[in-house]
Amino acid sequence: MPATSLCQDEACPPYSLMDDYSEGAHPQILEALLRTNSTQQVSYGGDAYSDEARQLIRNKINCTEDEADIFFVPSGTSANLISIASCLRPYEAVITLDSGHIACKEAGAIEATGHKLILVPAVDGKMTTTNLQKAIQQNQFFPHMAKPRLLYISNASETGTVYTKRELTNLSALCKQMNLLLLMDGARIGTAMCSKKNDMTFRDIFDLTDIFWIGGTKAGALMGEAIVVKKALSEGFVFHLKQHGALLAKGRIMGVQFMELFRSDLFFTLATHANAMAEKISANFEALGHHLVAETETNQVFVTMPQQLAQRLQNRFRFYIWDQLDDGQVVVRIVTSWATDELQVDKFNAWVAQWTAAAKEFTTN
Amino acid sequence: MPATSLCQDEACPPYSLMDDYSEGAHPQILEALLRTNSTQQVSYGGDAYSDEARQLIRNKINCTEDEADIFFVPSGTSANLISIASCLRPYEAVITLDSGHIACKEAGAIEATGHKLILVPAVDGKMTTTNLQKAIQQNQFFPHMAKPRLLYISNASETGTVYTKRELTNLSALCKQMNLLLLMDGARIGTAMCSKKNDMTFRDIFDLTDIFWIGGTKAGALMGEAIVVKKALSEGFVFHLKQHGALLAKGRIMGVQFMELFRSDLFFTLATHANAMAEKISANFEALGHHLVAETETNQVFVTMPQQLAQRLQNRFRFYIWDQLDDGQVVVRIVTSWATDELQVDKFNAWVAQWTAAAKEFTTN
Amino acid sequence: MPATSLCQDEACPPYSLMDDYSEGAHPQILEALLRTNSTQQVSYGGDAYSDEARQLIRNKINCTEDEADIFFVPSGTSANLISIASCLRPYEAVITLDSGHIACKEAGAIEATGHKLILVPAVDGKMTTTNLQKAIQQNQFFPHMAKPRLLYISNASETGTVYTKRELTNLSALCKQMNLLLLMDGARIGTAMCSKKNDMTFRDIFDLTDIFWIGGTKAGALMGEAIVVKKALSEGFVFHLKQHGALLAKGRIMGVQFMELFRSDLFFTLATHANAMAEKISANFEALGHHLVAETETNQVFVTMPQQLAQRLQNRFRFYIWDQLDDGQVVVRIVTSWATDELQVDKFNAWVAQWTAAAKEFTTN
Amino acid sequence: MPATSLCQDEACPPYSLMDDYSEGAHPQILEALLRTNSTQQVSYGGDAYSDEARQLIRNKINCTEDEADIFFVPSGTSANLISIASCLRPYEAVITLDSGHIACKEAGAIEATGHKLILVPAVDGKMTTTNLQKAIQQNQFFPHMAKPRLLYISNASETGTVYTKRELTNLSALCKQMNLLLLMDGARIGTAMCSKKNDMTFRDIFDLTDIFWIGGTKAGALMGEAIVVKKALSEGFVFHLKQHGALLAKGRIMGVQFMELFRSDLFFTLATHANAMAEKISANFEALGHHLVAETETNQVFVTMPQQLAQRLQNRFRFYIWDQLDDGQVVVRIVTSWATDELQVDKFNAWVAQWTAAAKEFTTN
């Protein structure tokens, strides 16, 4: 299979498998924005669409208005920093994986609100009760150490793995015992919920956490995340939105998008597609004998390959070199999304197969 | 003229003249989002549309890439807090009108970044050199007072007035002399530029300020503001965007919208419409003998009327009662926008005329 | 009376009536430091002297350990910023006089902890329920305005006046009704308690406030202030001390000093002396026909005089020119303290009398 | 040797070897406070004693007023947080050892000023260029990671080791190359300078760092640390002192103490004593076959011993159990100071010897 059969227009730019936010929004979402565009609405989140979206999300969670408040913010960093700042006192600290998004991808946003991060190593990309317990114990030197008060986890994790109900139940129980709040970053909660490994409902997650948020940006929306806050913690939350510039005048933009995502099962359909594309890529790598660094449970594939192979692939596809290993191998991250074109996935897999075979032949001879 | 001629469907909700963000986006902007939706783009503001929008804005300013950096953020509060936090040291303070948006409409966002506000009374809704000078003098008790370092003004002002070139030149000169930076909040800079009172170009504003921002939200966009930062102050600015949750993964959303606003003269056309609608309302009030609290220079009308008239109008139109006066009169704020329907303006004017006449008749008899 | 009779050594530097912290500590306090110096003590406030001082203060308040916690900090600014930061959520604001110490003498310390100040004009140097009510009402635009949550007052006030029991009772009742905490800055609470105008006990102040602090620096100590916090608000307070650098390793320094101040009535004896000296100066001004800007209720005298007289006095005495009036008059602030030498007060009064007489004679002729 | 020969009064409390701040101040310092107590001085650091102390310190450094500014603050945490906050922009981060004082003993004070800490493992209690380089490299993902901008180290280190001139020269060179500022925490710089391992002058340290501070609290003062700031960084520093409550009204207290410490060589004499006492304890442990966890280079001894021995010693002496090892052994920290009584050191050594012998006999039999 010659290269030309894969990309007939030689000038075509590399196809991006870099992240899950390279495209705009799912067409249905744009149509919803068009459809609702001309009505006059109350500003700052008081619009009918945001109300409707909040109710639809509550329905999915199977919770009442008395149990949870829901707030829309424009970005994941907003969701994290506002959630954390809203429920900690100034001397309280956050426990997070050292690979946590707030620890290494948000430019110090949490510290900028005044709070210390306590870093814990990951196991399969996840927080374990053992490591959590140890971190709590090591931060008890009163009053010289900031007081651990909130556990931050992501589901799916930074390496695409998902928490099982047992794992989250255990973490949640330990948090309650140690007086820690539990915040789940759900930037990719859609793919987590649609993972074959998942055994939790939204209600489970709601019950086992204090705050969790549902990512829209990586799930087919233009932007926007929905923060679900237990009633006991939601007083004054809107002030935080406003104070951090996250309370949009036209709150309807986020309301309409979440309304559309949850009106039917669009949110889940899109995540399921993303996962399926990743699985296809992952299966191909495994079949060809490449080593997966993390199990492919959602829409991210972490795979080891020779640097040379990665470079050749990068002529056709855009993706991150995640790590440089000592032996000339690299770890590559492939991310699929609601928008990933299956034809491109097939091409990607074909190229991987072709070049892997060529490399083997070369090595053998 | 019976009421039914104004609103034939008795059940129709009041028409909003409450603010300039009650509707979605101008249709051309939505079309641009649709048109560009499926291309793959670099994330976090590195997309081709944001680049194009930045160049178009620079063209309007008539400045080069070496002179100014441009950043897109989702909200006006973001624009203000990031601009201010990015160029002040921790002990430096901001001078603002006591009616300034940062002083009374942003839930303490500036203080939340650690900076003191020094409040100054307005004259015609604007900062004067006299009042600025006085504020600087009164805050010099070293090191017991935070050091004045930045002047914040809005154009159009909170009461809809605009700065003349002479006024801004004088403020700018005083700032330079006293070592103050000058930030212009341009949430409504479109209507300011299109005001009949305006005698400045974007280049003038660029030259006379250190940072200014161009509001998209109130100018026909779904959301988004473009911050124009003089090169000398822009180092590290992107970190601030990220740290405050304002660096959207799909930066294209704002890029596309500003591209569309500035590709042709849409930005100015829409602002001109808003101003025209306000002028029509304002002229009617004046013709009927109502007192304007501030001259109507842009898209806001501040008018005094009997409480009873305001209440009757509120059955048909939504707007803010801005102030309660002692004599049973109220100050009403009417805001028009790119989306304001001229038919509704005519109805509004007709109702005002009818009820004003009725009231006079009643009073006379 | 020739000048030489007042200062026989022509080279003697001007005597300072500038503030109440120009000297070191009262000798008894230094002796107590010497006496206790060599014992080994638990660090960071756990020493026996701090315990003893806390108990002595509780005795003066007539409250139990279950009612109040007491913390020592090195400075008044520490006391204010820690007290405020410890009990506010990030979006909550402080109401203060515009002449309040936190508003204009602490370099933005409160804003640096993230909190907005809402400024209110003073009446006789004090907060009134009318002005407080108005400030609360004007800051209710949810969620665009930071939420008023704490009233900050100083007793004695910045102009040396004191709150009566009725005044404080009314403010306290309004605070409770409006869900505001009440913090009293007691940098000069000693002179307030010893004022002839005072009709409150420490127990009254404790009952009517949520936090108040007892100033040591201006009351004869080397440094140190004692913050009295109602039990309901004291959880986690020590973390704040530590986080802001106010938890001294050798907490004993402050413990010993407050122990000495409250072991007998030294604290009150010293304040009484300061007040008596101010009264003497004040009475002389009045007798000579000078206008007092504020009634002299504690250890500060604010008096109007011709600029020329102020300048002549400044050759012999150091004090602040507090304000420049339009008519060539100035407002002068004279501060006395526990250390003020009565002989110097007599000289000061004599000079004032002599020069006032000379000026009158000159004017008459 | 029976126990009674060591402590004849059975009721005598355990002697503290817990830290270097259990006693008050060196008697000469108290005498200086007494001697200078009654003069009137300018407040807030403008007093003659502070001026004199600053000059004496500059003399020791051998630098001019044009090269360095010196500021006195009440605590080490103040010194660190003010130094760091004064020279970083909001998105800039601090690199520190994970055992650094700011990382685990200051209750999140640095994060409370908004800055992220990047943690690096120690080698012999110290930062190495290798680990520093790695940390810088791992924090370059623009703009998703806070920007490394300042290296924080302590000399002596947290485990009592000292930096050699070669080590500090290399760190300093790497900092310059990577555009990092270098801050040295000198809480125990006295014992570092007096260590037998030290090969640096104050001038060396001044040249190789941007800011360093000289600890008074642990060096015989009641309280107070002197921050030495290179001229290029000192603008506005006083505002930071004020804003964080560290600018004492009676700045003379710190001025007098540092004047006394540096008037003669008291500062060094006291540190030399502390080191000698630690060396004596350390040598005894080694002679008896106990394992030192860190080399005893200053006034701290970290030694491994059976838990049982530690417990017996704790009946007579107070010290920290620093770590619990897996095999029933513990790591004990012994700290000596300017005030440590050599007689008590001899007793301590004798008890260690007696019980070590007893334990060996027991084990042998």
The identity of residue B103, as a single letter, is A
d(CA D150, CA D89): 11
pLDDT given at position B3? 35
User: pLDDT tens for residues D10-67?
Assistant: 557 899 999 999 999 999 999 999 999 999 999 999 999 999 999 999 999 999 999 9
Contacts of B63 (CB under 8 A, 6+ apart): B203, B206
pLDDT given at position B345? 98
- Residues of chain D in contact with residue A143, where contact means CB-CB under 8 angstroms, are 107
Q: Residue A248 has which token pair?
A: 């949009």
pLDDT given at position A13? 84
Q: Which chains touch D (3 or more CB pairs under 8 A)?
A: A, B, C
Which residue from D minimizes the CA distance to A323?
Answer: D138
Interhelix angle D252-263/D266-287, nearest 10 degrees: 70
Averaged pLDDT score across all residues of chain B: 95
pLDDT band at residue B209 using 50, 70 and 90 as cut-offs: very high
* DSSP E strands, chain D: 15-16, 68-73, 92-97, 117-120, 147-154, 181-185, 211-215, 225-230, 291-292, 300-306, 317-318, 320-324, 329-335
Which has the higher per-residue pLDDT, A302 or B362?
A302
From B85, B91, B240, residue closest to D236, measured CB to CB: B91
The closest of D180, C86, C272 to A90, measured between CA atoms, is C86
User: How many Å lie between the alpha carbon of D98 and the closest alpha carbon of chain A?
Assistant: 10
The arithmetic mean of pLDDT across residues D292-296, rounded, is 95
Query: Quick check: C243 and D107 CB within 8 A?
Result: yes
pLDDT given at position D363? 67
User: Using CA of residue C312, residue C318, residue C324, residue C325, what is the dihedral sign?
Assistant: negative
- Residues of chain C in contact with residue A114, where contact means CB-CB under 8 angstroms, are 114
d(CA C294, CA C302): 6
Query: Quick check: C108 and B91 CB within 8 A?
Result: yes
Whether the Cβ atoms of residue B245 and residue A244 lie closer than 8 Å to each other = yes
- Residues of chain B in contact with residue C145, where contact means CB-CB under 8 angstroms, are 104-105, 107
Chain A residues whose C-beta is within 8 A of a chain C C-beta are: 44, 85-86, 89-91, 113-114, 142-144, 146-147, 236, 238-243, 247
Which has the higher per-residue pLDDT, A363 or A243?
A243
Mutation test of the interface with chain A: which of C42, C115, C179, C239, choosing the one with the most A Cβ atoms within 10 A? C239
In the CATH scheme, what is the code of domain A3-17+267-364? 3.90.1150.10
Q: Does A143 have pLDDT greater than 60? A: yes
Query: Quick check: C37 and D30 CB within 8 A?
Result: yes
pLDDT band at residue B326 using 50, 70 and 90 as cut-offs: confident
pLDDT given at position D359? 81
Widest CA span in chain A: 72
Chain C residues whose C-beta is within 8 A of a chain A C-beta are: 44, 85-86, 89-91, 113-114, 142-144, 146-147, 236, 238-243, 247
User: pLDDT tens for residues B256-291?
Assistant: 999 999 999 999 999 999 999 999 999 999 999 999
pLDDT band at residue D361 using 50, 70 and 90 as cut-offs: confident
Which residue from A minimizes the CA distance to C143?
Answer: A239
Q: Could you state, in order of their start, the residue ranges of all structural domains in chain C?
A: 3-17+267-364, 27-264
d(CA A121, CA D98): 14
Query: Quick check: A249 and B77 CB within 8 A?
Result: no
User: pLDDT tens for residues D347-359?
Assistant: 999 999 999 998 8
Query: Quick check: C113 and A91 CB within 8 A?
Result: no
User: Using CA of residue A278, residue A283, residue A286, residue A292, what is the dihedral sign?
Assistant: positive
d(CA C1, CA C346): 13
The arithmetic mean of pLDDT across residues C206-230, rounded, is 98
- Residues of chain C in contact with residue B105, where contact means CB-CB under 8 angstroms, are 141, 144-145
- Residues of chain B in contact with residue D91, where contact means CB-CB under 8 angstroms, are 236, 239-240, 242-243
For residue A330, give the H/E element and its range. strand A329-335
Chain D residues whose C-beta is within 8 A of a chain A C-beta are: 90-91, 93, 104-108, 111-117, 119, 139, 141, 143-146
d(CA B211, CA A152): 36
Q: Does C58 have pLDDT greater than 60? A: yes
Query: Quick check: D105 and A145 CB within 8 A?
Result: yes
pLDDT band at residue C359 using 50, 70 and 90 as cut-offs: confident
Which residue from A minimizes the CA distance to D90?
Answer: A112
pLDDT given at position C365? 58
pLDDT band at residue C364 using 50, 70 and 90 as cut-offs: low
pLDDT given at position B348? 98
CATH of D7-23+267-364 given 3.90.1150.10, 1.20.58.220, 3.20.20.150, 3.40.50.720: 3.90.1150.10
The closest of B67, B29, B91 to C107, measured between CA atoms, is B91
Q: Quickly list DSSP for A219-257.
A: GT-SS-EEEEEEGGG-TTHHHHHHHTT-S-TTTHHHHHH
**Residue B332 CB coordination number (10 Å):** 25
Task: Give the three-class secondary structure for B136.
Answer: helix
User: CA distances (Å), B202 to each of B76, B190, B237, C90, D38, in order?
Assistant: 19, 10, 22, 37, 63
Query: Quick check: D23 and C36 CB within 8 A?
Result: no
From A108, A115, A146, residue closest to D146, measured CB to CB: A108
pLDDT given at position D318? 97
Which residue from A minimizes the CA distance to C87?
Answer: A89
Examine the predicted complex and report whether its ipTM is higher than 0.90: yes
Sheet holding D92-97, edge to edge: D68-73, D225-230, D211-215, D181-185, D147-154, D92-97, D117-120
Which has the higher per-residue pLDDT, C270 or B327?
C270
* DSSP E strands, A25-116: 68-73, 92-97
pLDDT given at position D2? 36
From A111, A119, A144, residue closest to D114, measured CB to CB: A111
d(CA B150, CA B84): 8
Query: Quick check: B243 and D91 CB within 8 A?
Result: yes
Query: What class, spelled out in words, does domain D27-263 have in CATH?
Result: alpha beta
Looking at residue C361, the DSSP 8-state letter turns out to be H
User: pLDDT tens for residues A263-279?
Assistant: 999 999 999 999 999 99
Whether the Cβ atoms of residue C106 and residue B143 lie closer than 8 Å to each other = no
Looking at residue C123, the DSSP 8-state letter turns out to be B
Query: Quick check: C111 and B107 CB within 8 A?
Result: no
Q: Does B193 have pLDDT greater than 60? A: yes
Interhelix angle C252-263/C48-61, nearest 10 degrees: 40
Q: Does B2 have pLDDT greater than 50? A: no
pLDDT band at residue B316 using 50, 70 and 90 as cut-offs: very high
- Residues of chain B in contact with residue D239, where contact means CB-CB under 8 angstroms, are 90-91, 143, 146-147
pLDDT given at position A361? 77
The arithmetic mean of pLDDT across residues B56-65, rounded, is 98
CATH of C27-264 given 3.60.21.10, 1.20.120.80, 3.40.640.10, 3.40.50.300: 3.40.640.10
Q: Does D263 have pLDDT greater than 50? A: yes
User: How many Å lie between the alpha carbon of A185 and the closest alpha carbon of chain B?
Assistant: 14
Q: Does A25 have pLDDT greater than 50? A: yes
User: How many Å lie between the alpha carbon of D88 and the closest alpha carbon of chain B?
Assistant: 9
From D25, D74, D107, residue closest to C248, measured CB to CB: D74
pLDDT given at position D95? 98
Which residue from B minimizes the CA distance to A248?
Answer: B75
User: CA distances (Å), A112 to each of A81, A86, A176, in order?
Assistant: 9, 13, 27
Mutation test of the interface with chain C: which of D86, D244, D337, choosing the one with the most C Cβ atoms within 10 A? D244
Which residue from A minimizes the CA distance to C114?
Answer: A113
pLDDT given at position D275? 98
Same fold, D7-23+267-364 and D27-263: no
pLDDT band at residue A7 using 50, 70 and 90 as cut-offs: very low
> How large a percentage of chain A has pLDDT more than 70?
96
- Residues of chain B in contact with residue C108, where contact means CB-CB under 8 angstroms, are 91, 93, 114-116, 146
Q: Does A197 have pLDDT greater than 50? A: yes
- Residues of chain D in contact with residue C38, where contact means CB-CB under 8 angstroms, are 23-24, 339
Which residue from C minimizes the CA distance to B105?
Answer: C144
Adjacent-strand bridge partners of D229: D69, D211
Query: Quick check: B119 and C115 CB within 8 A?
Result: no
Q: Residue D272 has which token pair?
A: 């030399």
Which residue from B minimizes the CA distance to A41?
Answer: B22
Chain D residues whose C-beta is within 8 A of a chain B C-beta are: 44, 85-86, 89-91, 113-114, 142-144, 146-147, 236, 238-243, 247
> How large a percentage of chain D has pLDDT more than 90?
93
- Residues of chain D in contact with residue C41, where contact means CB-CB under 8 angstroms, are 22-23
Q: Does C179 have pLDDT greater than 80? A: yes
Query: Quick check: D244 and C106 CB within 8 A?
Result: no
The arithmetic mean of pLDDT across residues A16-36, rounded, is 97
pLDDT given at position A359? 81
The arithmetic mean of pLDDT across residues B38-49, rounded, is 97
Q: Does C1 have pLDDT greater than 80? A: no
